[in-house]
Amino acid sequence: MHNFVFHIPTKILFGQGTLPALGPETAAWGRKALLVYGRASLRRNGLHTLIVESLQSSGVEVVEHGGVRANPLLSHAREGVAKAKSARVEVIVAAGGGSVIDTAKAIAAGALVEHDLWKFFIGKKGIKGALPLLTVPTVAASGSEMNSGMVLTNDQTREKLGFGHRLLFPKVSILDPTTTYTLSREYTAYGAIDALCHAVEFYLSTSEPETSIQDRLMEGLIENAMHACNRCQATPCDYAARADLMWTAALALSGLTAAGLGRVGMPMHLIEHSLSALFDVAHGAGLSVVMLGWLRAHRERCASRIAQLGRRIFACSEPSEQQLAKRTLILLEQWLHSIGAPTTLNHLGISAADIPALSENTCAQARLWRLHDYTPQRVAAILSLCL
Amino acid sequence: MHNFVFHIPTKILFGQGTLPALGPETAAWGRKALLVYGRASLRRNGLHTLIVESLQSSGVEVVEHGGVRANPLLSHAREGVAKAKSARVEVIVAAGGGSVIDTAKAIAAGALVEHDLWKFFIGKKGIKGALPLLTVPTVAASGSEMNSGMVLTNDQTREKLGFGHRLLFPKVSILDPTTTYTLSREYTAYGAIDALCHAVEFYLSTSEPETSIQDRLMEGLIENAMHACNRCQATPCDYAARADLMWTAALALSGLTAAGLGRVGMPMHLIEHSLSALFDVAHGAGLSVVMLGWLRAHRERCASRIAQLGRRIFACSEPSEQQLAKRTLILLEQWLHSIGAPTTLNHLGISAADIPALSENTCAQARLWRLHDYTPQRVAAILSLCL
């Protein structure tokens, strides 16, 4: 086991009926809040009213910053920073999916500095402070509600970059599974794929040979992401299933899974970010495709790990590790297909002709993530297995 | 899934070579520390010197409070409180097993009040504050290094009582698996049993019917406690095995396992505390015996849960759930026997004649733990299955 620091300072309030705690919890951190949210759904499902009422009844003044979109944009986060500064807000509240929470993190850090916040993303400036952040996730996917990471797309340069800093952990996150009841079948699947993929990336990218306890935790999360997704799709208002998926997604990128694994990469996310940056693909949809391509490209090299996953997740067996790894990929693809996720670039409207541009875009990020072995040639080879 | 609060504020520094961080981490909380530790082992293995040097080189003055024994005593914690008050220490550092850390927690809370600290344990006073606590666990067992619980034995009344409060979470815990290299084969087993039993108790006492994700996490921890224990006993200085057991034990009672399970009881611990209180039995040794008796008493009622555990942990199968539950108990007993743990009260020098006194002692605690269905008759019936 590699040395590690494990520290999740975020307080999680989990369950139905927990939303009214938002006001008092926020008031403990500030009296004027920037409320960051998305476009239509928060108003449509009545959550916006509940949140504003809870905040105001605790004496917290609300400044609105709606309009975050999927694959959130740097320009919109910059507007949020300007608003936070001019209104002198003391606390940020994010209500929505991973895009909303990530935008709120960027604003929380950007509001305390004079320079442009993109400098954090390209490594030109370090984070020294951040406004306190509270979140109300409404999608089970990114785990941003219980981690210190964020991802933004620079709409000028078409770079989608992510990074993390311990000061970006939310202070409090309120996870009410009923807020995810209205998620479509499609986006429920994309969320589950995102959560599953976080664990799969760590599972396959560790250089640590002894990962006994982490393996069991990751396998449990992977299996649950699949199982809970199936149940949510069958019965969108199945509380137990929504709760299971929500908690699984929060844990999958919380620091629990990577503890002890040493330096782990997230090459599937790396490549997917280019699909999102250049083609505005939904993150989970892109991951579905890229994960399969990456696994095909590394099937032989990672055969024993993929085989162990298959044995434990799908309870399948084959005469050899190579055959079992192959079978695991087939079963994973079948599952992705069954939940309505795209499994080829063609499904996303992307063709072989787009691969060079995607590979170039990926490698610009790869350098920032220190994944130096991801050359344009290697990325192109992976993407060609996604066709 | 029941509603829950998940909050582990403790920062964990895990791995070999992390001990020198103790000084700087402590200095961030205070300039004068009460160092709480046990009797001989800390000095014998050189850790005492390392710790004092680390603290002093960071400008932290050290006041010593050694002498904590297994089944730690209230009287010794009271002495620590008096010392902490008279020396006006600002921070507590605990280095040792669960007994040492629990004693340190009691001192941390007791040092800030005028009343006797036992009032916390019997519910007469609530905890309103505590000195900051840092820990260096040297045994993989109780998980006290990453939770808010503590257990003490009142040496006058022979009550062994435990409870928890969020203010008792350590600020920082430094987990170096090499500190457990010198643990005997016997105490390695007792620690693993304690960790395993934490997860088993939650697994079997939840009233929540939908525990998909929690089950996988608990099963993973149970399996790892067993597997890592076997490896540690075979090769005491196997770093990976020691690390696995240490991290498993920390997670097993961290709040991760019980999240969403609703109100869980710890009846095996409850009954074991009486064995420790009246016969000064080592906690893990007592748990080994009591766990088997409790499982025998509840085998039919909990057949489907015990069977699921057996299926997933021991990969065994039988024609019926009842048979599988029975088989699971046999396999568990065989494992306990294989690691040298006692499996009957007789092994502990306790006879049938002692059961009435043990049952009475247990039930005094049961009322405090609100386990009202644990009557003397019921406890006696369980204990008679431990003979």
**CA A80 to CA A74: how far, in whole Å?**
10
Indicate the helix (H) or strand (E) that contains A62: strand A61-65
Q: Among B19, B134, B206, B212, which would you mutate to test the A interface (most chain A Cβ atoms within 10 Å of its Cβ)?
A: B212
Q: Does A219 touch chain B (CB under 8 A)?
A: yes
pLDDT band at residue A265 using 50, 70 and 90 as cut-offs: confident
Nearest CA in chain A to B247: A213
* Residue at A316: amino acid letter: C
Computed on alpha carbons and rounded to an integer, the radius of gyration of chain B in Å comes to 20
Name the DSSP class of A77: H
Q: Do the Cβ atoms of A213 and B2 come within 8 Å?
A: no
| pLDDT attached to residue A45 | 84
Instruction: Find chain A residues with C-beta within 8 A of B10's C-beta.
Output: 7
pLDDT at A5 over 90: yes
| pLDDT attached to residue B210 | 87
User: Nearest to residue A222, comparing CAs of A290, A102, A306, A139?
Assistant: A306
Instruction: Find chain B residues with C-beta within 8 A of A217's C-beta.
Output: 217, 220
Q: Do the Cβ atoms of B4 and A11 come within 8 Å?
A: no
Mean pLDDT (whole number) for A110-121: 96
**CA A198 to CA A98: how far, in whole Å?**
14
Q: Nearest CB to A11: which of B7, B212, B260?
A: B7
pLDDT band at residue A14 using 50, 70 and 90 as cut-offs: very high
Q: Work out whether the CA dihedral A138, A140, A145, A151 comes out positive or negative.
A: negative
Q: Nearest CB to B1: which of A1, A4, A240?
A: A240
Q: Nearest CB to A13: which of B5, B15, B240?
A: B5
pLDDT band at residue A368 using 50, 70 and 90 as cut-offs: confident
Question: What are the tens digits of pLDDT across the range A78-106?
Answer: 999 999 999 999 999 999 999 999 999 99
Nearest CA in chain A to B257: A217
Name the 3-class secondary structure at A12. strand
Name the 3-class secondary structure at A80. helix
Q: Do the Cβ atoms of B6 and A11 come within 8 Å?
A: yes
Mean pLDDT (whole number) for A5-17: 97
Q: Does B21 touch chain A (CB under 8 A)?
A: no
Count of Cβ atoms closer than 10 Å to residue B24 Cβ: 15
Q: Do the Cβ atoms of B8 and A8 come within 8 Å?
A: yes
Q: Nearest CB to A9: which of B9, B177, B256?
A: B9
Instruction: Find chain B residues with C-beta within 8 A of A235's C-beta.
Output: none
Q: Label residue B277 exposed, middle or buried (CB < 10 Å: 0-12, 13-18, 19+).
A: buried
Tokens linked to B334:
């065989």
Mean pLDDT (whole number) for A365-373: 85
Q: Nearest CB to B247: which of A18, A228, A260?
A: A260
Reported ipTM: the value is: 0.96
**Residue A292: HSE in the Cβ half-sphere, 13 Å Cα cutoff:** 25
Q: Label residue A101 exposed, middle or buried (CB < 10 Å: 0-12, 13-18, 19+).
A: buried
| pLDDT attached to residue B368 | 81
**CA B254 to CA B147: how far, in whole Å?**
5
**Residue A110: HSE in the Cβ half-sphere, 13 Å Cα cutoff:** 27
Question: What are the tens digits of pLDDT across the range A161-206?
Answer: 888 999 999 999 999 999 999 999 999 999 999 999 999 999 998 8
Chain B nearest-CA distance from A221, in A, is 7
Q: Do the Cβ atoms of A259 and B14 come within 8 Å?
A: yes
Nearest CA in chain B to A217: B217
Instruction: Find chain A residues with C-beta within 8 A of B212's C-beta.
Output: 224, 227-228, 240, 244
Chain B nearest-CA distance from A206, in A, is 15
Q: Do the Cβ atoms of B5 and A17 come within 8 Å?
A: no
**CA B118 to CA B153: how far, in whole Å?**
10
Instruction: Find chain A residues with C-beta within 8 A of B3's C-beta.
Output: 13-18
Q: pLDDT tens string for chain B (387 positions)?
A: 999 999 999 999 999 999 999 999 999 999 999 999 998 889 888 999 999 999 999 999 999 999 999 889 999 999 999 999 999 999 999 999 999 999 999 999 999 999 999 999 999 999 999 999 999 999 999 999 999 999 999 999 988 888 899 999 999 999 999 999 999 999 999 999 999 999 999 999 888 888 999 999 999 999 999 999 999 999 999 999 999 999 999 999 999 999 999 988 899 999 999 999 999 999 999 999 999 999 999 999 999 999 999 999 999 999 999 999 999 999 999 999 999 999 999 999 999 999 999 999 999 888 888 888 999 999 999 999 999
Chain A nearest-CA distance from B333, in A, is 23
Nearest CA in chain B to A224: B213
Q: Do the Cβ atoms of B247 and A213 come within 8 Å?
A: yes
Count of Cβ atoms closer than 10 Å to residue A237 Cβ: 12
* Residue at B50: amino acid letter: L
Count of Cβ atoms closer than 10 Å to residue B280 Cβ: 12
Mean pLDDT (whole number) for A292-296: 98
Q: Does B243 touch chain A (CB under 8 A)?
A: yes
User: Nearest to residue A205, comparing CAs of A245, A261, A253?
Assistant: A261
* Partners of B152 in the β-ladder: B161
Q: Does B244 touch chain A (CB under 8 A)?
A: yes
Q: Does B166 touch chain A (CB under 8 A)?
A: no
Q: Do the Cβ atoms of B216 and A212 come within 8 Å?
A: no
Please state the three-class secondary structure of B208-267 as a single string: CCCCHHHHHHHHHHHHHHHHHHHHHHHCCCCHHHHHHHHHHHHHHCCCCCCCCCCCCCCH
**CA A15 to CA B260: how far, in whole Å?**
9
User: Nearest to residue B268, comparing CAs of B289, B249, B251, B247?
Assistant: B289
Instruction: Find chain A residues with C-beta within 8 A of B259's C-beta.
Output: 14, 247
| pLDDT attached to residue B160 | 87
**CA A288 to CA A302: how far, in whole Å?**
19
Q: Do the Cβ atoms of B256 and A259 come within 8 Å?
A: no
Chain B nearest-CA distance from A18, in A, is 8
Instruction: Find chain B residues with C-beta within 8 A of A11's C-beta.
Output: 5-7
Q: Do the Cβ atoms of A212 and B219 come within 8 Å?
A: no
Q: Do the Cβ atoms of B1 and A14 come within 8 Å?
A: yes
* Residue B4 backbone phi and psi in degrees, to 5: -155, 160
Q: Does B3 touch chain A (CB under 8 A)?
A: yes
Q: What is the rounded average pLDDT for all residues in chain A?
A: 96
Q: Do the Cβ atoms of A244 and B213 come within 8 Å?
A: yes
| pLDDT attached to residue A173 | 98
**CA B3 to CA B208: how far, in whole Å?**
11
